[in-house]
Amino acid sequence: MGAGGAAKAGAEAARGKDGKDGEHGGRGRRRGHGRRRGTRRTEAETRGEAGGREYQLVDTEGRMPAFLAELERAEEVFLDTEADNMYHFKMRVCLLQFLLNGRVWLVDAQAPLDLAPLWRLLARKHLVMHGCDFDLRLLHALCGFEPESVFDTMLAAQLLNRPRVGLASLIEQHFGGVEMDKKCQRANWSERPFTRRLLDYAAGDVVYLPGLRDLLAGELRALGRLGWLEQQCRQQIQSAKEGFPEADENAWRIGRSERLRGRGLGVLHAVWHWRQKWAERLDVPPFKVCGNDLLLRLAAAAENGADAAGVLGGVHLGRRHDRLSPGLREAVAAGLAADPRSLPRRRRPRPDPLTQEEIALMDRIRADRDRVAGALNMDPTLIASRGQLAQIARAPGNLSAILLPWQAGLLAAEPSLAGAAGK
């Protein structure tokens, strides 16, 4: 599925994985396009069908008026996006999928289109999406987009304790064994022209959203949890305005780097920046230069006293080795020569550790949370995460500020908090 699927929440983290493409990785190029890159499609070639619904590809200004007119008439919008975060250094929105009044429209976000009218109209609509957190952050970063309201089918499935909440899994479960083309999840959506297979897949991401929304909303309503979902979705809209976390001067402190104390820190700092520089130059995600495991291996060797030759022993950077290895050697040498005390220090001090009294309170709150969640057949972390439990234990009186109203309401009267809320 698109950037709004279950895997999107980890898409940024996937940039640092150990050289594997993961769920959205792999090669995006397809053979047999039958067309040179950049050739304009005919009107017939912009149409197709997925899940019994016709769709229209909007990739020229001439096709925008009909799409915008349909968008203006729609009372609600079923939306998904496709991005190229697994193929380029800077992530871009590549395709927008809409289901409007029963008709699917696919908007090429990389085509020379004026999308300003689209964003103005869309901001006034109620959206139905799956895994909207990533999509909304992506669109807010692109153009400051903020929707009026959202129904997130992934959050709904979580509140119903579905064991698998990915869009493909939910579609297969609820719509007669329909199977999504999982190979298309690994596609490079920035390549043009789109193949018919990719367009069919993209259209399928929104075709089943109305039925899925109706099923999940009915179950939530029967359990009295529809208001809980509304609170979750409002929070997602607010969180999206914060955008994606920006890399700071300590972004190089990856994985198990907290174990490093001496020369390994200098090497990790140097080779991480070497990788970033090459990723930007090659316009690929950093993990496609090399993975975190390799960076940590180099740092560990330096930490254990190896010289430059020992640190680099056995390292091969794949098909780009001859091009990249000279810079890596220089980075390792610079890292070995660096004084670890000169490296950037963490700006945000960690909060003081909990006192023994606070730890005991946190344990009691956790026990109450787990019991309440068990009675509701719900993942306990949906009520309060471990970090939130620690915040509550530190300041029980801030319960309603730390949690959403439905979450706080489930815990406020529990024994662990009944006598502590005023503290």
Q: Is 100 left (phi over 0), alpha (psi -120 to 50) or beta?
A: beta
Token representation of residue 2: 């698109």
> Considering only CA atoms, which of 191, 217, 260 is closest in space to residue 33?
191
Which of 132-141, 220-229, 272-281, 345-354 shows the lowest per-residue confidence on average (mean pLDDT)?
A: 345-354
pLDDT tier at 345, thresholds 50, 70, 90: confident
Is 70 exceeded by the pLDDT of residue 122? yes
- The whole model's pTM is what? 0.84
Span 336-359, average pLDDT: 86
pLDDT tier at 186, thresholds 50, 70, 90: confident
- The Cβ of residue 264 has, within 10 Å, a number of other Cβ atoms equal to 25
pLDDT tier at 1, thresholds 50, 70, 90: low
Span 299-328, average pLDDT: 97
pLDDT tens for each residue of 123-150:
999 999 999 999 999 999 999 999 999 9
Span 332-341, average pLDDT: 96
Range 6-240 has CATH code 3.30.420.10: yes
Contact at 8 Å (CB) between 28 and 189? yes
What's the full length of the chain, in residues? 423
172 vs 384, residue with greater confidence: 384
In this structure, which topology does domain 257-342 adopt according to CATH? DNA polymerase; domain 1 (1.10.150)
* Rounded CA separation 171/212 (Å): 7
Which sequence spans correspond to the domains of the chain?
6-240, 257-342, 356-418
Which of 51-60, 349-358, 360-369 shows the lowest per-residue confidence on average (mean pLDDT)?
A: 349-358
> Residues with Cβ < 8 Å from 253, sequence gap 6 or more?
268, 346
pLDDT > 70: percent of the chain: 86
> Considering only CA atoms, which of 385, 365, 267 is closest in space to residue 315?
267
Span 266-281, average pLDDT: 97
* Rounded CA separation 31/40 (Å): 18
pLDDT tens for each residue of 104-116:
999 999 999 999 9
Would you state the pLDDT for residue 350? 63
Phi, psi dihedral angles at 150 (to 5 degrees): -145, 145
- Provide the 3-class DSSP secondary structure of residue 102: coil
Place of tokens 């607010």: 238
Which of 211-215, 289-293, 340-344, 398-402 shows the lowest per-residue confidence on average (mean pLDDT)?
A: 340-344
pLDDT tens for each residue of 16-51:
333 333 333 333 333 333 333 444 555 546 777 776
- Provide the 3-class DSSP secondary structure of residue 422: coil
pLDDT tier at 85, thresholds 50, 70, 90: confident
Place of tokens 């800077």: 90
